[in-house]
Amino acid sequence: MKLKPFKTIGIGATFSPNLEANLYEASRLAMLFDSKLILIHVGESSDDKKVKFQSILQPFIEKGLDYDIVFKPGKPVDVILSITSSYNIDLLLIGALKRENFVKFYLGSIARQITRKALCSVLLLTHSSVDNKPCKHIVVNGLKDPKTKETICLSFYMATNFKAKKMTIVEEIAQQEVAVSVEDDKSLRRANINKERIKLREDSRVKKLIEDIDEQYTSSVNYNIQPIFGKRGYSIGHYAEVVRADLLIMNAPDKTSFLDRLFPHDIEHILTELPTDVLIVR
Amino acid sequence: MSPKKNNLALFVKQMPKNIFSGFVVSLIALPLGLGLAMASEAPPISGVITAIIGGIIVSFLGGSNVTISGPGNGLVGVLLAAILTLGLNDAYAAIICSGILLIILGFLRLGILADFFPSSAIQGMLAAIGLIILGKQFHIMLGNKISRPSNIDYLLEIPNTIIQAFSYENSGFTYAAIAGVLSLAIMIFYPKIRNKYLQLIPAPMWIVILSIAFSYYYELVLKLPNPIDAKYMLSGIPEAAQIITEIPSISFGKIGLPVFWSSVISLTLIASIESLLSIKAVDKLDPERRRSNVNKDIKALGLATIGSGFLGGLNVVTVIARSSVNVNNGGTNRSANFFHAFFLVLFIVLFSTQLTRIPLPALMAILVFTGYKLASPDMVKKIFYIGKEQVIIFLITLITTLNVGLISGISIGVFTTFIIHVMVNKSFSFFFRNWLKPNVLMFKEEHEANNYYVSVKHFCSFLNYYKLKQKLDSIPENEEVIVDFSFCEFVDHTVMENLHNYQELFAKNGGSFEIVGLDMHETDSKHPFALRRILPVPTFFENNLTKRQTLIGEIAENLDLNYNAKKNKDILFLNEFLFFKTRQANHIYNEVSGSDHSFNLFDIEFSEGEFIAKEVVRTTMLEIKLNQDAPSFTLDKEGFLERVYAFAGYDDIQIKNQTEFSKNFYLMGEDKEAITHFFTDNLVNFFESNPYYHIDSNGKSILIFQKERLASIKELKGLLDFGKRLQSTINE
């Protein structure tokens, strides 16, 4: 397990009403993980802008924030992606937009493209604010996937750092896995037996993953395993919303093609309606 | 849980009950079969053939338990159109093809099909079918056979026929009209007379028996010809042997025409909707609360339809009225369906010549009543209470179905519903964006109450109800469920109504089903099924109290008791009583209770049966709580009906050394030993020396009542007194 997963944190900075809140969140994270913060601004460099950014970061600079401001004109998506790779950024922060009249968040089209194409982990911020708000409950996926181990590992690391009280590892059990369609009492009983069996199997699989993680991270976190029945990738967001989680951590999808966007699955669902802050681990 | 070897023993043990109930159902199926077939312009016997084939095939291959299959009233309109456009022989081919389609639907597990139709649209369609039946048969009922081009014309002609009926020159027509009106009167007043001897035979059979008796009376006693015109007598009933030898020739000649396939599709659509709705409703009545395998049933119905089509019968569907008669008469498994077919065969073999003595208007009166029930003004009123928009959907579907046809009617109904939903939400993209999203999440709350939690997002309407239904169906009915609509912005009437059904189902099976998160939603009407929001308790405006209510109030005041005249829907406690296993309690009112809640006297409205066999009963009951645990039992005075039930398989429990009591009272229950122990000499003496009441015990409390009507003030006092003394006798 990597003890310091995020050495460099990047954030795209534009002069929007959310700028201050986003920068505060980013700086706090950088301080917490002891990593370098890189501000990426798409546009020409100017002293004026630099001063503005610095004035916002001032309280953190005083506390010893290690930061850098990068200016580069061009297409936003390309610029941010290229800087991410050239500066070795391993966590990219993206602020979400609020849908009018609703308490719902979604990603703008640029943010969505970045999320899909980025090669590093991405944290999508919904309720970014100037004030520090505690992270109490983390929800993480426990999918049967080679990446899951790392994701869960990282979640424990985050939970320990955030001093989160609670962590829930969610196993999404798809209807296909139950493999019995309920038609009458008999098939209902069979389906329920199947569900129990899948649940036990998944439980033991996740427990095995956790056993391998260094105890210094697992000991202070109160975690449980929750099987849910629903569509993969979508229902976990729904679950995070229902339990009012503060952070949802998910595996990155393998690859998204054009078809995946037409028939959304996994992460694509989450991008259209963000239930809470979402960390996509790569 | 249930060892296999006991199944056969149980089956044999329940056999007499099922034979009896199959017999009673066949009594209602015979006249209905004849009538429905004639209303569809098919030969009368084809309805009976349908019921026989349906009963035999579905009883062996079906997936439901207490349903009865046969010709359905919903199909009359479609069959009529099919036979008129295609001709009878090609219509048989269409029936066979629709049977094949039904089997395919069954294999594709499309039993969920009926969930995609908004309930107001379905009701509008059913009401239109009711009006088609009523409009056409009303004229024959009054001895005025007419033929008009459209369904509406038949309806408009009704006042004309009524006027004409008073001035027939041919007395044969007048007698025909009298037979029709008398039969209609029997159908209307039969449920109101609660006499157990009379009720043994269903109303349609009374009509058949009386009209055959009338014909014999003229022939044998008066030695006169039947006064009813021969044109209005049932004709074309073949001998049993003829049915087998003279199978109609089926023509597949029009199979290439679009009109053939539109008939096939209408037949399949209506047959599946009618069957699915019936199965759902009958499952609610099943005393053992089993779940029907809908897809298996659809396959069996499809196969039965194919068989029936080849033998000159009509579409086989699951029928609700006959199924509910089956449940009320003690049918417990599919063998009742088989025996119903068996008795029909027996009737045809033995009495086919007698059937020609039935006047047509008498049969048509049964259909007019059926049609009226489908389109009764009460239903429109109920829909109006739910919301004005539902009335629009209902009426548009109704009018289109009458004017154009069934498929157009239901399509327009679905479309209108959707448009109204878009208008209510003032957004089309809201539906478009979220329609295909998997909006239902279900999980078991692990560390708390261990209940199921279902959360619904975005919107939940007829468009995506199947997703919610799929999740809810995978929960055993004795579990606890919370359905949360906090994240759901729009819930429609169809969903609310279906959820209400789930609530009843779970309550009856000992589970609980709660709906939360609708408090912030808005609604137009105060009806609990209104779209968008459910109100905790509908507020009824204060009525002036009736004299009876004032008197009850006075009694309560004199005895220092609490009195509440308002309707109370909190009637879950009734479900545990044996009496309510096959009856549906609606609400209780006029409650009188002691301050310590040890007893509760109330008026109750409950219903028995479904659809045309539905009877709403109001009565007064007293519930007393026991200090000690008692066995569950039912105590009744031994009467005629109970003798029939005893013959059908129930055991009367005999109490030692109390032969007089055992002779006079009928005591039944599962735990024989505990019951004999419970009935001490003291208690037996109490029952013998006091007026007779029906007693029902659920182990914790006892339900006492006497008549199937509301009690007068005097009876009410008597009931209260009896209950209190019984309470002290038991608690001693």
CA of B215 vs chain A CAs: smallest distance (Å): 49
CA of A278 vs chain B CAs: smallest distance (Å): 19
Q: For residue B281, which phi and psi values (nearest 5 degrees)?
A: -70, -35
User: What average pLDDT does chain B have?
Assistant: 81
Mean pLDDT across B311-321: 87
Instruction: Give the contacts of A222 (CB within 8 A, at least 6 positions apart).
Output: A165, A166, A167
CB B279 within 8 A of CB B58: no
Q: Is residue A141 part of a domain?
A: yes
Residues of chain B above pLDDT 70, percent: 91
> What is the rounded distance in angstroms from the CA atom of residue A250 to the CA atom of residue A238?
13
* Minimum CA–CA partner of A228 in chain B: B443
On the question of pLDDT at B281 being above 80, the answer is no
Instruction: Spell out which residues of chain A touch residue B471, defining contact as CB-CB under 8 Å.
Output: 229
Q: Which of these, B335, B340, B345, lies nearest to B62 by C-alpha position?
A: B335
Element (H, E) at B513: strand B512-516
Query: How many CA atoms, within 13 angstroms, populate the side-chain half-sphere of residue B363?
Result: 25
- The predicted pLDDT at position B519 comes to 59
A-to-B residue pairs, Cβ atoms closer than 8 angstroms: 70
Per-residue pLDDT tens digits for A78-124: 888 888 888 888 888 887 766 554 455 666 677 777 777 777 888 88
Q: What angle do CA B402, B407, B413 make, to 5 degrees?
A: 75
What per-residue string of b and e applies to A175-184 under the rule 16 or more CB within 10 Å gives b?
beebebebbb
Interface test with A, best of B107, B474, B488, B509 (most A CBs within 10 A): B474
Q: Chain centroid to CA B575: how far?
A: 18
- The predicted pLDDT at position A99 comes to 55
Q: Is residue A273 part of a domain?
A: no
Kindly state whether residues A13 and A122 are assigned to the same domain.
yes
CB B454 within 8 A of CB B440: yes
User: Which of the two residues, A106 and B103, has the higher pLDDT score?
Assistant: B103
> What is the rounded distance in angstroms from the CA atom of residue A175 to the CA atom of residue B435?
19
- The predicted pLDDT at position B638 comes to 54
Mean pLDDT across B584-610: 82
- The predicted pLDDT at position B98 comes to 92
Kindly state whether residues A222 and A254 are assigned to the same domain.
yes
Would you place residue A277 in the very low, low, confident or very high pLDDT band (cuts 50, 70, 90)? confident
On the question of pLDDT at A1 being above 50, the answer is no
Mean pLDDT across B299-303: 92
Kindly state whether residues A141 and A119 are assigned to the same domain.
no
Would you place residue B536 in the very low, low, confident or very high pLDDT band (cuts 50, 70, 90)? very low
Domain that holds residue A41: 1-133
What is the C-alpha end-to-end distance of chain A, expressed in Å? 14
CB contact under 8 A, A230 and B109: no
> What is the rounded distance in angstroms from the CA atom of residue B379 to the CA atom of residue B344?
33
Kindly state whether residues A140 and A110 are assigned to the same domain.
no
CATH number of residue A145's parent domain: 3.40.50.620
Q: For residue B198, which phi and psi values (nearest 5 degrees)?
A: -65, -40
> What is the rounded distance in angstroms from the CA atom of residue B372 to the CA atom of residue B390?
20
- The predicted pLDDT at position B342 comes to 93
Q: Is residue A277 part of a domain?
A: no
- The predicted pLDDT at position B469 comes to 86
> What is the rounded distance in angstroms from the CA atom of residue B364 to the CA atom of residue B138?
7
Touching check for A181 and chain B: CB below 8 Å?
A: yes
Q: For residue B441, which phi and psi values (nearest 5 degrees)?
A: -115, 135
On the question of pLDDT at B1 being above 60, the answer is no
Would you place residue B6 in the very low, low, confident or very high pLDDT band (cuts 50, 70, 90)? low
Instruction: Spell out which residues of chain A touch residue B455, defining contact as CB-CB under 8 Å.
Output: 238, 242
Q: Is residue A280 part of a domain?
A: no
> What is the rounded distance in angstroms from the CA atom of residue B406 to the CA atom of residue A184?
31
CB A117 within 8 A of CB A77: yes
Domain boundary residue, one of A85, A117, A133: A133
On the question of pLDDT at B535 being above 50, the answer is no
Domain boundary residue, one of A94, A109, A133: A133
What per-residue string of b and e applies to B584-616 under the rule 16 or more CB within 10 Å gives b?
bbbebbbbbbbeeebbbbbbbbbebbbbbbebe
Three-state DSSP class for B517? coil
Q: Set out the domains of chain B in order of their start, with CATH numbers.
A: 17-390 (no CATH), 433-516 (3.30.750.24), 547-731 (no CATH)
Look-up of token digits 């297409």: A75
Quick one: residue A137, left, alpha or beta (phi over 0 = left, psi -120 to 50 = alpha)? Answer: beta
Kindly state whether residues A240 and A221 are assigned to the same domain.
yes
Instruction: Spell out which residues of chain A touch residue B286, defining contact as CB-CB under 8 Å.
Output: none
Residue type at B282 in one-letter notation: V
- The predicted pLDDT at position B3 comes to 42
- The predicted pLDDT at position B538 comes to 35
Mean pLDDT across B241-257: 77
Taking any CB pair shorter than 8 Å as contact, residues of chain B touching chain A are 63, 109, 111, 290-296, 437-444, 446-447, 453, 455, 457, 470-471, 473-474, 476, 484, 487
User: Which of the two residues, B442 and B50, has the higher pLDDT score?
Assistant: B50
- The predicted pLDDT at position B316 comes to 92
Residue type at B253 in one-letter notation: G
Q: Is residue A152 part of a domain?
A: yes
Q: Is residue A268 part of a domain?
A: no
- CA dist B548 → B198, B545, B554, B565 (Å): 30, 8, 10, 11
Touching check for A177 and chain B: CB below 8 Å?
A: no
For B84-148, what is the HEC assignment?
A: HHHCHHHHHHHHHHHHHHHHHHHHCCHHHHHHHCCHHHHHHHHHHHHHHHHHHHHHHHCCCCCCC
Q: Is residue A276 part of a domain?
A: no
Kindly state whether residues A40 and A120 are assigned to the same domain.
yes
Three-state DSSP class for B67? coil
DSSP state for residue B534 in the 8-state scheme: -
- What is this structure's pTM? 0.76
Domain boundary residue, one of A103, A133, A163: A133
Query: How many CA atoms, within 13 angstroms, populate the side-chain half-sphere of residue B185?
Result: 7
Q: Is residue A176 part of a domain?
A: yes
CA of A20 vs chain B CAs: smallest distance (Å): 30
CB B60 within 8 A of CB B376: no
> What is the rounded distance in angstroms from the CA atom of residue B321 to the CA atom of residue B68?
9
CB contact under 8 A, A229 and B487: no
Q: What angle do CA A35, A219, A8 make, to 5 degrees?
A: 10
Element (H, E) at B389: helix B388-403
For B434-481, what is the HEC assignment?
A: HCCCCCEEEEECCCCCCCEEEEECEEECCCCHHHHHHHHHCCCCCCEE
* Minimum CA–CA partner of A263 in chain B: B436
CA of A203 vs chain B CAs: smallest distance (Å): 13
DSSP state for residue B219 in the 8-state scheme: I
User: Which of the two residues, B528 and B688, has the higher pLDDT score?
Assistant: B688
Tokens describing residue A188: 């209902």
Would you place residue B643 in the very low, low, confident or very high pLDDT band (cuts 50, 70, 90)? very low
Three-state DSSP class for B40? coil
- The predicted pLDDT at position A98 comes to 61
On the question of pLDDT at B305 being above 90, the answer is yes
CB contact under 8 A, A239 and B457: no
- The predicted pLDDT at position B396 comes to 92
CB A83 within 8 A of CB A72: yes
Mean pLDDT across B587-612: 81
CB B696 within 8 A of CB B672: no
On the question of pLDDT at A51 being above 70, the answer is yes
Interface test with B, best of A200, A235, A273 (most B CBs within 10 A): A235
- CA dist B655 → B632, B660, B661, B727 (Å): 16, 10, 8, 21
Kindly state whether residues A118 and A157 are assigned to the same domain.
no
Would you place residue B306 in the very low, low, confident or very high pLDDT band (cuts 50, 70, 90)? very high
Residues of chain B above pLDDT 90, percent: 7
Kindly state whether residues A79 and A168 are assigned to the same domain.
no
Would you place residue B531 in the very low, low, confident or very high pLDDT band (cuts 50, 70, 90)? low
Residues of chain A above pLDDT 90, percent: 0
What per-residue string of b and e applies to B433-461 under the rule 16 or more CB within 10 Å gives b?
ebeebbbbbbbbeeeeeeebbbbbbbbbb
* Greatest alpha-carbon span in chain B: 84
Would you place residue B614 in the very low, low, confident or very high pLDDT band (cuts 50, 70, 90)? low
On the question of pLDDT at A135 being above 80, the answer is no
- The predicted pLDDT at position B303 comes to 93
Mean pLDDT across B701-710: 80
Kindly state whether residues A121 and A142 are assigned to the same domain.
no
Q: What's the domain count of chain A?
A: 2
Tokens describing residue A4: 């310091």
Q: What is the full DSSP assignment across B561-616?
A: -EEE-S-B---GGGGGSGGGSSEEEEEEEEEEE-TT-SEEEEEEEEEESSGGG-EE
Question: Closest to A239 (Cβ–Cβ): which among B290, B293, B441?
Answer: B441
User: Which of the two residues, B732 and B694, has the higher pLDDT score?
Assistant: B694
Touching check for A203 and chain B: CB below 8 Å?
A: no
On the question of pLDDT at B639 being above 60, the answer is no
Kindly state whether residues A56 and A125 are assigned to the same domain.
yes
Report the sign of the C-alpha dihedral through residues B616, B621, B625, B631, in that order. Answer: negative
Three-state DSSP class for B189? helix
Kindly state whether residues A97 and A182 are assigned to the same domain.
no
Mean pLDDT across B205-215: 87
Would you place residue B537 in the very low, low, confident or very high pLDDT band (cuts 50, 70, 90)? very low
> What is the rounded distance in angstroms from the CA atom of residue B397 to the CA atom of residue B412?
6
Instruction: Spell out which residues of chain B touch residue A231, defining contact as CB-CB under 8 Å.
Output: 438
Instruction: Spell out which residues of chain B touch residue A182, defining contact as CB-CB under 8 Å.
Output: 470, 473-474
What per-residue string of b and e applies to B59-71 under the rule 16 or more CB within 10 Å gives b?
bebbbbbbbbbbb
What is the C-alpha end-to-end distance of chain B, expressed in Å? 38
CB contact under 8 A, A188 and B295: no
> What is the rounded distance in angstroms from the CA atom of residue B589 to the CA atom of residue B620?
9
Kindly state whether residues A2 and A37 are assigned to the same domain.
yes
CA of B681 vs chain A CAs: smallest distance (Å): 44
Instruction: Spell out which residues of chain A touch residue B440, defining contact as CB-CB under 8 Å.
Output: 230
Report the sign of the C-alpha dihedral through residues B348, B352, B357, B363, in that order. Answer: positive
CA of A252 vs chain B CAs: smallest distance (Å): 20
CB B582 within 8 A of CB B556: no
Instruction: Give the contacts of B532 (CB within 8 A, at least 6 positions apart).
Output: B424, B490, B491, B492, B518, B521, B522, B523, B524
